[in-house]
Amino acid sequence: MRVLLVEDDPTLARHTTQFLRQAGFAVDVAGTGAQALELEAINGYDAVVLDLGLPDMEGQAVCQRLRARGTTARVVMATARDGVDDRIAGLDLGADDYLVKPYALGELAARLRAVLRRPDPLLPVTLSVADLTLDTATRTGTRGQRSIPLTAKEFLVLEYLMRHAGEVVTRERISAHAWDDNYDPASNVIDVYIGRVRRKVDQPGEPPLLHTMRGAGYRLGSR
């Protein structure tokens, strides 16, 4: 899942970004509310970790603007303000969760996983294509009776392909979901991960599900 971290403290932003990436999230960072709104409009995110004490505007105003323009990203507000009124105001403006600083990075990752698991009619928890199944809550995959072990990045790639089964998905679309702004479009990293996922999904004797569409991208599904 791709996450936007909105945090104006460079040290905290650096440590949080490093931890979340190790936990399997693709993370971009914004240091101001204006930058956060700009990045979200360009990229779209699955979740936003939003500090309330930003230098240019209140985080609550950022959340309100995101919701006003129809953003469906889960919003976790993070702030040193621990008053009940602050929490109520944040939730009423569209936040999905509220985390008081200082917080443990492990708890932040767990809360992100929790809000991303919440039911959404557009984002089913269990994805299925032919005899391939992916449980996005437990991040486990199976094909038939066979378990498919996945690294964090492999999971993100396969999840995106399964959510768009039958479509020809370009490398650019995959990178927007599974990588952050540090992704180098000139590299072959996506091809490498597609190869890893293909070897795990399509084993000898099984009908192939992951297809390369030469010059266009990739498609997951039966022929």
**What is the tens place of the pLDDT at every residue in 175-185?**
888 887 777 77
Q: Which CATH class is domain 126-220?
A: mainly alpha
Q: What is the pLDDT of residue 56?
A: 95
Mean pLDDT of 37-57: 92
**Domain 2-117 homologous superfamily, CATH:** Response regulator (3.40.50.2300)
How far, rounded to the nearest angstrom, does the alpha carbon of residue 179 sit from its chain's CA centroid? 9
DSSP 8-state class, residue 184 = -
DSSP 8-state class, residue 169 = B
In 69-168, where does DSSP find H-type helix?
Answer: 84-92, 105-117, 152-163
Residue percentage of the chain with pLDDT more than 70: 95
For residue 108, pLDDT over 90 is answered with: yes
Every domain of the chain and the residues it spans: 2-117, 126-220
Give the pTM.
0.61
Mean pLDDT of 191-200: 96
For residue 144, pLDDT over 70 is answered with: yes
